[in-house]
Amino acid sequence: MTAALSPRPVGQAGLSMSAMTAPLSQACAVRLVDRRTGQTHRINGSPLVLFTRNPAEAVAELLSGRDAQVWEARVERIGGAA
């Protein structure tokens, strides 16, 4: 049964915990998503997206004070390999 287990624990937004603790050299887009609708949160009609090289910090900031049953943060890598 150990073959079915992930070799690294997976954290928020599907990133491995080691990837979340160390800043990435590759840029990422982090979006706040409403789990009920699957839609990106919007402010005055514009989607809320943070561009960063440290997705763990952006995820923590977006989810701070929000209900985890309603909100999730999604991380997408931008551009080619570093």
All structural domains of the chain with their residue ranges = 23-82
Q: Compute the C-alpha angle 41/43/19, nearest 5°.
A: 45
Instruction: Return per-residue pLDDT of the chain as tens, 82 residues.
Output: 334 443 444 455 554 444 455 554 789 999 999 999 999 999 999 999 999 999 999 999 999 999 999 999 999 999 866 5
pLDDT given for residue 63 in this prediction = 94
User: Counting Cβ atoms within 10 Å, is residue 58 exposed (0-12), middle (13-18) or buried (19+)?
Assistant: buried
Q: What is the pTM of this model?
A: 0.65
